Chains A and B, each alone.
Chain A
Amino acid sequence: MNLTFLNPLFLFGLIAGILPILIHRLTQRKAVSRKFSAVRLLLQSQRVTAKPQRLKHFLLLALRILAVLSLVFIMARPGLMSRGFAALPSGGAKVVILDNSLSMGYREERGERYNLAKKAAREALEGFEGQVAIIPTVDVQDRQMTAKRVPWMKPEEALKELESIPLSFGRSDTTSALGLAYYQLKNFKVSKQILIPSDMARGDWEALELSKLGMVSDGDVTFLRIGGQGRDPNFCVKSVSLVEGEAVLGAPARLEVTVLNLSEQSGSTLIQLYLSGTKVDQKSLEFKAGEERKALFELFLEKPGWIDGEVRLSGDRLPSDDLFYFPLKVREKIKVLIVDGDPRTSLKASESYYLANALYPGSLEGSPFMIRVITESEISSLDLRPYDSIFLLNVAKPHPSRLASFLELGRPVFIFLGDRVSLEEYNAFTLLPWRIRESRDVGQNPERIAQIDPGREALRSLSSGADSLKSASFRRYFKIEGNTRSLLTLGNGDPLFVEADIGNSRLFLFTSTADLDWSDLPLKAAYLPLIQGLLKEAVGLAGTSLPAGIRIGEPYKEEVRPVQIRGPEKGPGIYQFSLPSGEVRRGLNPPYEESDLAKMGESELKKKFGPIDVKVIEYREGTLRDLQAGRKELWPFLLAFLMVVLAVEMVLANGVPWAK
């Protein structure tokens, strides 16, 4: 342990120690000669006081000299140099586990935490002459940093390597990083140390499981905590979803953005929505501490195909998680061909009137369906390929050849029966998996729907409105036979609405009419969602236009190599997969855990490390250099000493103030 000075030149000031002596000599007053009557008494007094007075004078002089010398020493900044926590002999080995997880991108007053972590690592390596290995906490496995691949470097090479490691967008794999560090140090006989500059975010370190490593090094572990112990405020996008199925061209869509306030305090953030790089809307939301809120954006999409969406947040200091990517596929409108087997001059009396209105209510532009109504005679000459679905309403013949070729395209067909239907023609159609029997007229005792298939998503959503559906009365219907899947069943057990898979396609049969001739179902509130729901499901519109997003670090199943089309390189963004079935895009976003900036407590961390000696040091710029060298500042002690000296001098020279 050596005594060193930061400002050794100030030590010349020690000469000032003679100042009190000089002042004492110069200010000594010349004695006045005076006659006095009681000199004998004075002599007695002098005998009593002379020795203490002399002692007092010497003490005062000594104290004043001490005060001057103390002041000079304080200005020279003395310190005791010893081997500090990071000081190792030249043959030692250090592993620096650099936390490059996303949370390290937090920007505090002093700068970005990741830069501070690098600075801490640089300070820790300053003056070190041993071997150094650098291990980032993110992508440990991706970088294939096996024990053979992590090179030992000289400190200057290690510093270069340190600078080359970028801040990642992912989550730390602390267990793997520590495992690698222990493996690296396992065979070292020299002094060894693991330094971890990190914000000690809970999202990174909570998952640490040392028991998985199966090895424990005798080297000590030192955390250089960057950014304090408190939970830093931060907002993040938890999810983006479409409220109602897919986005369809020309139809309104509602985008729901869920934002989380990961903080112990209330705050607000501005949520901005960008589509294909253009800002389309924004909303400002106030949040309570820890609150989750949803922002709804109304979209009206006018161009089919993929749209690259972004949600941007503002108002926090972690920018890396403020951008959320989501691809959105806008579909063309569903083209529906309705073949009206019983057209009338009055639209309302036509067979197709209620169905057409259910699919295209009030000629609403926002409907996802585009319908065309034709008569039965037109079907034989019409090219069916542009249509996504066909509805046959009370059509006499099923036109088997046309329907078969349509079904082969994998597109659904809905058949509604009626009084114009020729049973022979239908039953002769071999693709139909059922046989239509005679119609049943229940007259004054109409049948009602008693059972709804709960396994169908489209029907499940109607379960809340089941009363409406079940209130419909059916006066007449066809009985059918065959292996069918009944979606709606009447009270007497006869199927009302059945479904069958035909190859890649599906065939639906409604045993009653589509208009009001045989039932009042078209007048019921549940009619529209029933028809639309089943059709959407059949044409694949019931899912979502937002493909499931991926969080960085999660495995993905696509076997083809994706191409990044938006976002920072190799970071979050929108990735394109060219699959045989067509192009797919997926959004890749930072892991949600990295957005929560709650920290691990020291005791909690030590518990995880068990018997291993773990130190946690709050990093402040420059202080590490002192700690590394084991420099202990002495000026605070000297200052305290100076204060004591001055206080004693004051009391000795003037007496105790309150005693006066």
Chain B
Amino acid sequence: MVGIHPSQSKGLSSEFEEHRGYSQGDDIRHIDWKAYAKFDRYFIKEYRETTNLKAYIVMDSSSSMGYGSDGVSKFDYGSTLAASLAYLMLKQQDAVGLITFSNRIEKIIPPKATHDHLFAILKELEDRIPQGETSAASVLQELAASLKRRSLVILISDLLDKPEEVTRGLKQLRSRGSDIMVFHILDKDELQFPFREPSLFQDMEEDLRLLADPIAIRSAYLKAIHSLIEGYRESCASTLIDYSLFDTSIDLDRALVRYLTWRGKFKPL
């Protein structure tokens, strides 16, 4: 079965792409003799190889993903997004796998292109309860080391981790030739910080507490979260990684359509 995605490697295939000048070491079987007869110069015919896509959906299942202000947690939102993407890709006969992680890889479902495989992914997403600390950086490094061939890696996380390390992990993965999409999921509370009463804030992953007047620290917090988002956006842009921020208060379908439209302009899945 041949997929609909063009391979990034050029070689023998039925689909001609371009001519290039002959250089020493090239296989003489690929010389275009008709062109030689016409121009009296050697040209090598190149073809685009079409392959099946192998995609990994890397889903953050740490405790922080369990935060949700309107009854829908970031994990729920991310799971729905992951399931939707898996469904779309399997429809395109691409192989899709799922990796859930916290500070380590919790579970790996290897990529397959069968219809039954969707249920395995859905079951894992449904059964997974967000818990543990986040360490996306280490997981990305581990994933980069284990991937044998170029793949599409879709990272779904709140990225409330050390941003330098996460960025390093993404770059490492990108250096292996993998196509990376980052879906940054944040709650409305995290983006707007609407609290007004003096509060004792307890962290969901670490043993961190803070007694503070939200009104007093709101501006500084908003500055910090926007700085974090902008940092991710810039570092992703510099390494050609697709970055999208999803607010869980915005309906998923709208977010997904918006993303797919944007994605389609550059690289069809």
What string of 1s and 0s marks CB contacts (under 8 Å) between B182-223 and chain A? 000001011000010111111111101111110011011101
Contact A40 B158 (CB under 8 A): no
B224 to A, closest residue via Cβ: A41
Is B259's CB within 8 Å of the partner chain A?
Answer: no
Q: Is the CB of B217 within 8 A of A40?
A: no
Q: Which residues from chain B contact A38 at a C-beta distance below 8 Å?
A: 64, 160, 190, 221, 225
B195–A34 CB distance below 8 A: yes
Q: Which residue of B lies closest to A53 (CB)?
A: B216
When A36-B204, A42-B221, A45-B217 are in contact, do A29 and B210 touch as well, CB less than 8 Å?
no
With known contacts A37-B160, A40-B160, A49-B220, A32–B198 Cβ distance under 8 A:
yes
Are B197 and A29 in contact, with the CB atoms below 8 A? yes
Does any Cβ of A come within 8 Å of B67's Cβ? yes
B228 at interface (Cβ–Cβ under 8 A)? yes
Contact of B200 among A29, A32, A41, A53 (CB under 8 A): A32
CA distance A140 to B211 in the complex (A): 88
Whole-angstrom distance between the alpha carbons of A49 and B220 in the complex?
7
- Partner pick for A39 among B158, B195, B197, B201, CB 8 A cutoff: B201
Other-chain contact of A34, B187, B190, B199, B216 (Cβ < 8 Å): B199
Interface residues of A in 18-54 (CB under 8 A from B): 29-46, 48-49, 53
Nearest CB of B to A448, in Å = 120
The interface bits of chain B over 133-173 (1 if a CB of A lies within 8 angstroms of the residue's CB, else 0) are: 00000000000000000000000001010000000000000
CB-based contact B197/A45 at 8 Å: no
| Closest residue on chain B to residue A30 by CB atoms | B198
Minimum Cβ distance to chain B for residue A455 (Å):
109
A44-B224, A49-B220 are known contacts. Are A36 and B202 too (CB-CB below 8 A)? yes
One digit per residue, 1 when the CB lies within 8 angstroms of any chain A CB and 0 when it does not, for chain B 36-77 equals 000000000000000000000000000010010000001000
Contact of B199 (CB < 8 Å), options: A32, A41, A49: A32
Q: List 16 A-B contacts (CB under 8 A).
A: A32-B197, A32-B200, A33-B199, A34-B199, A36-B189, A36-B203, A37-B187, A39-B206, A39-B208, A41-B160, A41-B228, A42-B201, A44-B220, A45-B217, A45-B224, A46-B220
Q: How far is the CA of A546 from the CA of B202 in the complex (A)?
A: 113
Give Cα A644 to B157, complex, Å: 51
What is the bound-complex CA distance between A36 and B225, given in angstroms?
13
| Contact between chains at A48 and B208 (CB < 8 Å) | no
Report chain A residues within 8 Å CB of B204. 35-37, 39
Interface of B with A (CB < 8 Å)? 64, 67, 74, 158, 160, 187, 189-190, 195, 197-206, 208-213, 216-217, 219-221, 223-225, 228
Given contact pairs A45-B224, A53-B213, A35 touches B67 in the complex (Cβ within 8 A):
yes
Q: With contacts A31-B211, A39-B209, A46-B217 known, what are 9 further pairs, Cβ within 8 A?
A: A31-B198, A37-B187, A38-B221, A38-B225, A39-B208, A40-B203, A41-B221, A41-B228, A42-B217
Q: For residues 499 through 525 of chain A, which have their beta carbon under 8 Å from a beta carbon of chain B? A: none
Inter-chain contacts of A46 with B (CB < 8 A)? 210, 212, 217, 220
Q: Are A31 and B158 in contact (CB under 8 A)?
A: no
Nearest 9 A/B pairs, CB to CB: A45-B220, A39-B203, A37-B64, A37-B67, A45-B221, A31-B198, A49-B220, A33-B200, A39-B208
What B residues does A34 contact at CB under 8 A? 195, 199-202
CA distance A43 to B207 in the complex (A): 12
Contact of A37 with B198 in the complex, beta carbons under 8 Å = no
Question: In whole angstroms, how far apart are the Cα atoms of A34 and B220 in the complex?
Answer: 19
Find the residue from A31, A32, A39, A43 having the highest chain B CB count within 10 A.
Answer: A39
Q: Are A40 and B206 in contact (CB under 8 A)?
A: yes
Contact B67 A43 (CB under 8 A): no
A43 x B208 contact (CB < 8 A): yes
Task: Kindly state the separation between the CA atoms of A37 and B158 in the bound complex, as whole angstroms.
Answer: 9
Report B60 CB to chain A, min CB distance, Å.
Answer: 11
Min CB gap A618→B, angstroms: 54
In the complex, which of the residues A32, A39, A40, A49 contacts B216, with contact meaning CB atoms closer than 8 Å? A49
Among residues of A, the one whose C-beta sits closest to the C-beta of B216 is A53
What residue in chain A is nearest B211 (Cβ atoms)? A31
Within A30-82, the residues touching B (CB, 8 Å) are 30-46, 48-49, 53
A34 to B223, CA, bound (A): 21
Given contacts A32-B197, A39-B208, A53-B213, contact A45 B203 (CB under 8 A): no
> Once the chains are docked, how many angstroms separate the CA of A30 from the CA of B213?
11
Q: Roughly how many angstroms separate A459 CA and B125 CA in the complex, as a whole number?
A: 142
Instruction: Say which residue of A35, A37, A45 sits within 8 Å of B223 (CB atoms).
Output: A45
Across the two chains, which residue of chain A brings its CB closest to B202?
A35
CB distance from A51 to the nearest CB of B (A): 11
Determine how close the nearest CB of chain A comes to the CB of B235; give it in whole angstroms: 18
A30 to chain B, nearest CB (A): 7
Give the distance in Å from the alpha carbon of A36 to the alpha carbon of B221 in the complex.
Answer: 13
Cβ of A41: which chain B residues have Cβ within 8 Å of it? 160, 221, 224-225, 228
**CB-based contact A31/B199 at 8 Å:** yes
Inter-chain CA distance A33–B210, complex, in Å, is: 10
Among residues of B, the one whose C-beta sits closest to the C-beta of A47 is B220
> Which partner residue on chain B sits nearest A56 by CB separation?
B216
Distance in Å: Cβ of A24 to nearest Cβ of chain B = 13
A33 touches B202 (CB 8 A): yes
Residues of the A chain whose Cβ atoms lie less than 8 Å from the Cβ of B210: 39, 42-43, 46
Q: Which residues of B contact A53 (CB under 8 A)?
A: 213, 216-217
- Report the nearest B residue to A48, measured CB to CB: B220
Q: How far is the CA of A369 from the CA of B24 in the complex (A)?
A: 163
Give every chain B residue within 8 A of A29 (Cβ-Cβ): 197-198
Q: Which residues of B contact A44 (CB under 8 A)?
A: 220, 224
Partner of B202, one of A39, A43, A48: A39
CA distance A30 to B67 in the complex (A): 24
Residues of B within 8 A of A43 (CB): 208, 210
Please measure, in the bound complex, the distance between the C-alpha atom of A53 and the C-alpha atom of B198, giving whole angstroms: 14
Smallest Cβ-Cβ distance to B218: which chain A residue: A45
Q: Give Cα A33 to B224, complex, Å.
A: 22
B64, B160, B190, B217 — which one has the most chain A CB atoms within 10 A of its CB?
Answer: B217
Cβ–Cβ < 8 Å partners of A40 in chain B: 160, 203, 206, 208
Structural contact, A49 and B217, CB atoms closer than 8 A: yes
> What's the minimum C-beta distance from B36 to chain A, rounded to whole angstroms?
65
Residue of A nearest to B187 (CB): A37
Contacting residues, chain A, for B187 (C-beta < 8 A): 37
In the bound complex, CA of A124 to CA of B190 (Å)? 75
Name the B residues within 8 Å of A37 (CB-CB): 64, 67, 74, 158, 160, 187, 190, 203-205
Bound: A31/B212 CA distance, A: 8
CB distance from B54 to the nearest CB of A (A): 32
Question: Separation in Å of the A172 CB from the closest CB of chain B?
Answer: 74
Which A residues are in CB contact (< 8 Å) with B197? Answer: 29, 31-32
- State in angstroms the CA–CA spacing of A38 and B224 once bound together: 10
Minimum CB–CB distance from B179 to chain A (whole Å) comes to: 28
> Least Cβ distance of A654 to chain B in Å?
11
Most buried by A among B195, B199, B206: B199
Complex CA gap A49/B222 in Å reads: 12
Contacts of A36 in B (CB 8 A): 67, 189, 201-204
Among A37, A38, A53, the most chain B Cβ lie within 10 Å of the Cβ of A37
Chain A hits for B200, CB < 8 A: 31-34
Q: How far is the CA of A29 from the CA of B213 in the complex (A)?
A: 10
A38 to B219, CA, bound (A): 15
| Contact B206–A42 (Cβ < 8 Å) | no
Which A residues lie within 8 Å of B213 (CB)?
53
Q: Which residues of A contact B208 (CB under 8 A)?
A: 39-40, 43
Which residue of chain A has its CB nearest to the CB of B162? A40
- Residues on the A chain within 8 Å of B212, using CB: 42, 46
Please, which residue of chain A has its CB at the minimum distance from the CB of B222?
A45
How many angstroms between the C-alpha atoms of A587 and B174 in the bound complex?
125
